[in-house]
Each structure stands twice: as structure tokens, then as C-alpha cells.
Structure 1
């Protein structure tokens, strides 16, 4: 209480455009009246230990009649018999100190309000943090855990992030905070599209599963960003993977995992049933099948996304790759990102691996 009071005493209230002012006004005089009334109700069971709901020193000119209030700190020494602390919300710079016996008691007190937008927990103990999530998570829309590692960079208890669901259950509304893109979407027109993959691919300019592909005469790596369209595709020739390929790759990379090098152990595996090729060998061979090596519009390969190995390849089996333009996004006037879907199949046309390849292409 003493430490908080000392910090709150340094809070300068007034015109927020002035140097040194840390807190401005409430939204309106109506809110000010509501906060004062709620503070009066709570203070019957939790006396004010810092601040004054009726008086505040202000910094700035022409502030008379503004909706300004002092930071208020109250204290309840017997929170289980102080219903107003949990039932009444003073929607302003108002806090109440409450003691707790142990972690279970703290969790129960935190949940006594029957729902909140956010709760801040100060602990450097991961076990305590986990217990708080399991015990209090259902009652709070967002849980902020602060410790010595992240306190200096924290955005604070009251700063929801656009990517988070920041809406509390129960009394807090049961919904989502109208922040970031979540809030914008409530005011945007949105239309659901239904149709065949062929039609919708043309509409959204993105290759969708099931849409037909177009195999042109020119290698896709010979086409500039502006010449490529979603669905433009290349089906490569096949390549047989040999046991020598697998062993060379294993020794060259150092990846001598038993599934590639120990026939007896690999046969005992319920997944492999014998020695198989490395997943990354398959990726490397697939690249060798679809890459056009000469200088051209493809400037760089900068990553794979959504990689899945679906079916293993055994020595003597063959692979081929289908490279298809999935989508495009212009990044600068000189270059754009091309997202390619790569499907690697075996000699029976069964899917072996699937992923998205990202390249930067000249416009």
C-alpha cells in the first residue's frame, strides 16, 4: 500500500498534451459521476487509502468542468465479506488492495467478480502461472503474466493486442474486444463466395485445391512476375531413389537416423517397414527436378511453409514433382513474392510430400 501510494502520488493529472502529465480525463462528465458513485459504494467496505474522488490537482489551462479524477486506491482487509469489491465496477482509475492466504485463495478471489476483460499476474514461477491459468482462465478474457524477464517491455494490463481475443466471459460481456482487425471487420461488408474451385480460383486469383492447372510450354521459372498466373504448373520427369542415394545423403549430412541406415530396426518400425529415404533428400531431389538453373526472373528462394511428409519413399521407388503457382503479392515496384505449391508423388501417383515454396521474382 505504501509503495503504490508513493508511485500514485507521482501521477500528474491534467492536459495530456503538456509535458509531465501522465493521466487525462475520463470520457465524459457522466462517466465521472458514475465512477464517483461506484467509489462511494465500494468505499463502505473498502476505505480509500489514496486519492480523493471529489478533488484532484490539475496541470493545464481551461480544465475547469472537465471529467478529471484522482487515481483511487482502496483497501479491503476482509475481501470475502466485502461483496461490493467484487460486485461493483468503478470504470476508472480505481483499484482495491486485498490480502489472500495462498494461491488457491487468490484464484478464488480473482474469479469472485464473475468475469473480467483482463487479469495481470506477477510471478517468476512457471508452476504458479500454470495453476493460475487452470484455475482462473475461464473467468478472464486475457491473462498477462509479468516477471523480471518481460516487465520492462510489457504493454501493460490495459493494452489489448489486435491479434488477441480480449473479451471476458460473464459480466465482462462474453465477447471480443473491438480492437485491431477484429473490430474493423464488424463494420466491413463481407460476402461469402460459393462455386467450383475453377471459378473461385479466377475470382480470388489464388489457386484453390481441386482447381485445374495449366501446363504451358515455357518453364515457369522463365516467366516474370507479371506473366505468371495462379494455376500455371509444371509436372517434372520422374527420378528413382536408390540405396546409394540414401547412404550418400546420410554420410554427407550426418543424418544417420536408423530409419535410413538400419534395415532391421527400420523393418521393426510400424511406420517404415524397412529403410526409407530422408525427407530432406526428397525435398532436395524435388528441387533438382523442377529448378531451371539459368539466371532469370526468379531472384531468390526464401522459405518453405506448411511442409508435410505424407508417405515414405523406399529404395527403388521413384518421385516426381508438380510445381504450381498458388498466389502472388507485389512487394516493391521491382519484385514480388510468388507462392508455389509443390506436390511430390511416387510412381503410383500417391502423395509423398506437400509444401508451399516462396520465391522473389522480378516484375
Structure 2
């Protein structure tokens, strides 16, 4: 969408899946030829060929990100580098949650899902579980029971709940990391060396049992907050109070996501204030939102999926934000006329010019940026104000009580309703006959600058600000609308949006 072709280099262990997806995309024809290119295997000196107009986006381990981002060619050319790194994401059971409650069951479900989905090999998986001291035993028992009932097997079997790790090498890496975590933690469930597997070979298939650890002293532990076993591994730790839980959450040094299961809004507020700067996304859930929530590990495209510190300091780029990220941003400085000519958008102070006919009789294509209509003036009377108050029911004192209005520092006397002025404005600039204007779709950025009292006169300055094609039949016209009084002081201004046809112009 931003006009940037993408070259994708998948990890070797999962390259077969990436090529299958890219092949489907290419065969579908949804992208222009060359917009998406796939590189399998080594990239050679590709990164050394990049310059300031290129960008590198990376998802994976912190170690690989460091190797890539420190490449001399990227540093020398200031190539934009974004990294969404695996992190030590945490989940907190709120101090308000009791065993047997809906939130407690929800917490167990969330942690179990994050440990077993994709065999725990996902960047958002829960690695650290923070639980009130009084509930450590209950959480450990409930999680162990849920993990014991998890069916590990061939993914083609309908009853399989957890499959294999991505490779034998990855399984060995997880086992090695578990040995390091054993310095601070005890195993309370699972055996990394063996597991029961249905429909497949446990060893050749790189299957592994979920492993639940417990850390008796999370404050003194180091490996727990520094090392990630990228598999079905997670650690339970106790916290004394909510500030302690927040401190433990932040000891991970920055994560993609932290979740809190709580039914207490004040608990959620305290976590945001204490932990927000350390996590890319804070996810709260309870009995109210659980039915519609996407879950701890499933951010929506318009959400930030990244985080500070260990999480890489950047984000994956979904939605419109991702498109804008790939675009070069430059500041443009100049006179109003210069800016209008460059951008194609009229700005306040730029030249105005009159059209050959009323702008509402001119088609989308015929209208010119900066084309302006100055209407006749209309006097606002006390009868107008009272009639509008009676008709609408808006009898606010500033419109009806002269003494009360004068006591207000904003008003010199009884003043006209703001919406009365908008209605009068429309009556001044609208051309009532059928023509190219198909619909009024709204107004934005409305502001009132100066009150209008009985006896004042107002007129409208209507300017074509911007034109955008929308369909084959019509486009959107943004009009700058300025209401001024008899002294030419600005009374109110806003943007009016209309849909105009591309058809022939009347009277031009």
C-alpha cells in the first residue's frame, strides 16, 4: 500500500511454511508482481546493499536482532531497523481474585493456552506467572491438572491439543535453557526428557511435555528474568502485594505484553501506572470481557505489537500504522500559497478565487482548490434567538437571561445559539436546486470563536479545501467554512464534507 516492495527471509526451520503461504499469495494475484518476494536460504551481502531509503523489519530472538542491527552497513547508512523480539511476558492474578471465582478459572485458561498453543513457541507466550502468596498452591495445582489433561500428539488428529516443537534443535535449546532456569526454579509439573504422544514418535517428532516451574525467591532470581525457554515452559512466582507484583512484572526488562486478570478497576489502574512503560500492550480481562476478548497472545492489527527493552524497542507493523511507518516523513515549510500548491490542500491564508458559478452547481472535476464563495450577510435578531429556543427546547440561560449572560465573562449579553448560527450559515451558502452535490456527510473540527448577539450580522466564506476521489461515480469535497460578523471577526469555523458527482457542470 505504501509502494514499497517487500523481501521476506523466513527462519530456516519454518521456511517450508513461509514458502507455502507466499506461493498462495502469488498465485492469488492480490498483489502486483514483485511486491512480495521470498528469499530461501542465505541472503549473502543483501544487507550491505541497503541505504537510507530502505528499511529492515525483524521478528525473532534478541540475539539475532543484535547481530543484524549492529551490522556496519546498516549503522553507516542509518537504515531504519525495527525489531519485535521474543520477551519474558508475564501474567498477574489480581489480588482481588479468589480460587473458584470466574476470574481464577479464566486465569488458568489463559496461562494454559499460552503454554500449549504452538507448543509455547510464540513471542507472546506467558513465561512468568505472578500469583498472590496465598494462592500459589491453588494455581500450581489447577495448572498441573490442566496440563496433565492436555493431549499431545500428531496435529492431524482431531483431539490433539498440543503438537511438536518446530525442530529437534529447538527442543534441545529449550532443554538447555531449562537447565539454566533450574538455578532459580523447581519443576512442579512435566518432564522435559519424555512425554506421552498420540499418533507420532515422541523423539523424532520433537515433542516435549509442558513444564511448569516454581521460583521460591523471585526477587533474588536472575535467570528467571533474563532467560527465555522458547517452548511450553512457564514459571509460577509469589508476590506479597500489588506493588511487588508490578516490580516482578517489570524485572523482565521490557515485554511485548503483560496480562492482568482482575475484576477490580483500581487494580488495573495501578498496574497501568506502574508497569505501562515496560510493556507494549497491557491486557486486562475479567468475567465481563472474557466472552469477547482476543486473549493474552492475540493482539488485533490496530494494536501495538511490540515493546521496549528486551522486546526490541519497536513493533510488528499491522494496520494503517504499519503503512505509515514505511513512508518517509518530511516537513514542508513555506507560505500558505506555496503549501497549497505543493499539497493540493487549501490552507488558511492561501489565495482565494471566485468561480464562474455557485460552487454547488459545479461538478467535482470542475471545482478548483481555493475556489471561494462569499455570501450575503444576515442579521441575527432577538426574535430569531427566542424562536430557536422555543423550537428546539434549548433555553440555556446565556440565550434567554440578559442579566445572567452579562455575569458570564464569555458573553456581553444574550447570545445566539451556536447551532442557530450553523443553520443560518447553511441557509446562506446552500444552492437548493438539484446538482452535483449528492450528500452532506458531516462536518468536523467545529469551533466557536466569538459570541453573536442580537443585531450582529453574519456572512459565510465557503472555500474548496480538498478533493478526494471515492468511487467511479463521485468524490469527496472538503470545504472550509468560516462564519464572520460585520467586523469580519471570525465567529465560527469548521470543515464541511460533501459527496459530489463527476458529472457535467451547470452554468459553468
CA distance in 2, matches of 1:215, 1:20: 73
Q: Could you tell me which residue of structure 2 aligns to residue 169 of structure 1? A: 308
2:398 maps to 1:224: no
Q: Could you tell me which residue of structure 2 aligns to residue 326 of structure 1? A: 465
2:429 maps to 1:290: yes
Partner SS state of residue 244, structure 1 = helix
CA distance in 2, matches of 1:340, 1:306: 12
CA distance in 2, matches of 1:80, 1:148: 31
Deviates most, 84-93 or 301-310: 84-93
CA distance in 2, matches of 1:64, 1:236: 83
Partner SS state of residue 325, structure 1 = strand
CA pair 81-231 structure 1, distance change in 2 beyond 3 A: same
Aligned 8 A contact 2:262 2:286 in 1? yes
CA distance in 1, matches of 2:340, 2:161: 52
**TM-aligned CA deviation for residue 262 of structure 1:** 1.0
Q: Could you tell me which residue of structure 1 aligns to residue 150 of structure 2? A: 10
**CA deviation map 1:124-155 (0-9, x unaligned):** 21111111111222222221111222222222
Aligned 8 A contact 2:458 2:486 in 1? yes
Count of aligned positions: 362
Partner SS state of residue 365, structure 2 = helix
CA pair 51-236 structure 1, distance change in 2 beyond 3 A: farther
Structure 1: give runs of 5+ residues left out of the alignment. none
Question: Could you say what the CA RMSD is over the residues aligned between the two structures, in angstroms?
Answer: 3.0
Q: Could you tell me which residue of structure 2 aligns to residue 340 of structure 1? A: 479
CA distance in 2, matches of 1:28, 1:300: 59
Structure 2: give runs of 5+ residues left out of the alignment. 1-139, 503-508
* TM score, norm. by length of structure 2: 0.64
CA distance in 1, matches of 2:201, 2:471: 49
CA pair 71-62 structure 1, distance change in 2 beyond 3 A: closer
Deviates most, 218-227 or 175-184: 175-184
**CA deviation map 1:322-356 (0-9, x unaligned):** 22222223332222222222111222222211211
CA distance in 1, matches of 2:438, 2:162: 51
Q: Could you tell me which residue of structure 2 aligns to residue 354 of structure 1? A: 493
Q: Could you tell me which residue of structure 2 aligns to residue 203 of structure 1? A: 342
Q: How does 1:143-292 map to 2 (within 5 A)?
A: 143-189=282-328, 192-292=331-431
CA distance in 2, matches of 1:353, 1:285: 12
Aligned 8 A contact 2:304 2:316 in 1? yes
Q: How does 1:121-160 map to 2 (within 5 A)?
A: 121-160=260-299
CA distance in 2, matches of 1:26, 1:203: 54
CA distance in 1, matches of 2:343, 2:157: 49
Aligned 8 A contact 1:13 1:70 in 2? no
Partner SS state of residue 80, structure 1 = coil
CA distance in 2, matches of 1:28, 1:188: 37
Deviates most, 33-42 or 307-316: 33-42
CA distance in 2, matches of 1:183, 1:191: 17
Deviates most, 258-267 or 48-57: 48-57
Partner SS state of residue 355, structure 1 = strand
CA distance in 1, matches of 2:404, 2:430: 35
CA pair 275-18 structure 1, distance change in 2 beyond 3 A: farther
**TM-aligned CA deviation for residue 20 of structure 1:** 5.9
**TM-aligned CA deviation for residue 14 of structure 1:** 5.4
Q: Could you tell me which residue of structure 1 aligns to residue 39 of structure 2? A: none
Instruction: Identify the structure with bigger relative contact order (alpha carbons < 8 Å, sequence gap 6+).
Output: 2
**TM-aligned CA deviation for residue 118 of structure 1:** 1.5
**TM-aligned CA deviation for residue 274 of structure 1:** 1.9
CA distance in 2, matches of 1:40, 1:146: 33
